[in-house]
Amino acid sequence: MNLADIINPNNLVYEKPKLLTENTMHYCPGCSHGVVHKLLAEVILDLDIQEKTIGVSPVGCAVFAYNYIEIDWQEAAHGRAPAVATGIARCNPDKVVFTYQGDGDLASIGAAEILHACNRGENIVVIFVNNGIYGMTGGQMAPTTLIGQVTATTPNGRDAGRNGYPLKITELIAQLPGTSYVTRQSVHTPASIRKCKKAISKAFQAAIDKKGTSFVEVVSTCNMNWKLSPVKANEWMVDNMFPFYQPGDLKDSTKTDPASYTPLKN
């Protein structure tokens, strides 16, 4: 058997998703963003929506998400991606619009924008990558930083009295009648990656079916700012993040109609 017999389309078991560009990713080795990008590229192609999908990238580590997936993109101001996505989706109801946001972007500076977009039931998909820290600016405390977690702005660990409590924004969002599918996933094992892909696919299908907002949190690592090796970071996430940010579906009403209300009495 020679090399040409081995490198043969019939033997292909895995390839780089066709929608991922050739650009070298700027993410740190071990970062979860690359895996989530890959899943997005696969799902968009699987659903054959690459010509009707518009992505909105955040400010934070994923600011350059637009460099990596071969679709139209807008780059939003810090926290404002849900508003930008609202503008696109409202004026282009036949398109599929998603935001890609980190925890500082979504749960801190953009808390108002995400809550109100979800509460209006904007027909968008939200991909929320939560690693409990500000990555791009060098590891400061995020709204999702755990109590006791050491960051650049909580050098002795997050203290509830001084810094408040970690924000379970996904739990808040699941309460809103505008959301149809709210789930929390991770991408630290092959099994969790497969499960996360299914969740992202379901979220995009809900947008195609005009079911309102679908929201996929991906609990992730930031091994660089956590100051751990990629493997250790995964272990730390399982041991510390998962008990607080428990993986699983929080809400699924994709098979039912949006909430309805009785009219006011005169």
Partner 1 sequence: MGELRLMKGNEVIAEAAIRCGCDGYFGYPITPQSEIMETLMDREPWNETGMVVLQAESEIASIHMVHGAAGSGKKVMTSSSSPGISLMAEGISYIAGAELPCLIVNVQRGGPGLGTIQPSQADYFQSTKGGGHGDYRLIVLAPSSVQEMNDFVETGFKLAFKYRNPAMILTDGVIGQMMEKVVLADYIPRVTDEEIDRRHGSWVTNGRKPNRGRNIITSLEMDSLKMEHNNIRLQDKYAKMEEEDVLFEEVQCEDAEYLLVAFGSSARICQKAVDQCREKGIKVGLLRPITLFPFPKKPIAALAKRVKGMLVVEMNAGQMVEDVQLAAGCNIPVKHFGRMGGIIPSPAEVVEALEQKLIGG
CA distance to 32, 75, 195, 209, per residue, from 188 (Å): 8, 27, 11, 30
CB of 60 to partner 1, least distance (A): 12
By beta-carbon proximity to partner 1, the closer residue of 73 and 181 is 73
The SS3 call for residue 168 is coil
Number of residues that bind partner 1 (CB under 8 A): 31
CB of 134 to partner 1, least distance (A): 18
Strand residue runs (E) in the chain: 53-57, 72-75, 96-102, 124-130, 133-134, 140-141, 179-186, 213-219, 248-252
Contacts of 228 (CB under 8 A, 6+ apart): 221, 236
Fill in the per-residue mask, 54 to 73: x = in contact with partner 1 (CB under 8 A), - = not in contact: x-x------x--x---xxxx
Interaction of residue 174 with partner 1, rule CB under 8 A: no
Interaction of residue 50 with partner 1, rule CB under 8 A: yes
61, 83, 118, 222: which one contacts partner 1 (CB under 8 A)? 83
Interaction of residue 42 with partner 1, rule CB under 8 A: no
16, 90, 194, 198: which one contacts partner 1 (CB under 8 A)? 90
Which residue stretch of 82-90, 213-221, 234-242, 243-251 sits at the interface with partner 1 (rule: CB under 8 A)?
82-90
Please calculate the CA angle 228-131-97 and round it to the nearest 5 degrees.
Answer: 145
Nearest to 129 by CA among 197, 218, 40: 218
The pair phi, psi for residue 203, each rounded to 5°, is -65, -45
CB of 126 to partner 1, least distance (A): 14
33, 37, 38, 80: which one contacts partner 1 (CB under 8 A)? 80
First to last CA, the chain: 83
Nearest to 153 by CA among 168, 132, 170, 129: 132
Which residue stretch of 6-14, 86-94, 156-164, 201-209 sits at the interface with partner 1 (rule: CB under 8 A)?
86-94
CB of 6 to partner 1, least distance (A): 34
Interaction of residue 91 with partner 1, rule CB under 8 A: yes
Q: What is the rounded CA–CA span in Å between residue 85 and residue 213?
A: 11
Asked if residues 100 and 52 have their Cβ atoms less than 8 Å apart, the reply is no
Interaction of residue 23 with partner 1, rule CB under 8 A: no
Which residue stretch of 88-96, 211-219, 232-240, 252-260 sits at the interface with partner 1 (rule: CB under 8 A)?
88-96
By beta-carbon proximity to partner 1, the closer residue of 212 and 247 is 212
Buried b (16+ CB within 10 A) or exposed e, 223-238: bbbbebeeeebbebbb
Question: For binding to partner 1 (CB under 8 A), which residues are involved?
Answer: 50-54, 56, 63, 66, 70-77, 80, 83-92, 95, 112-113, 116
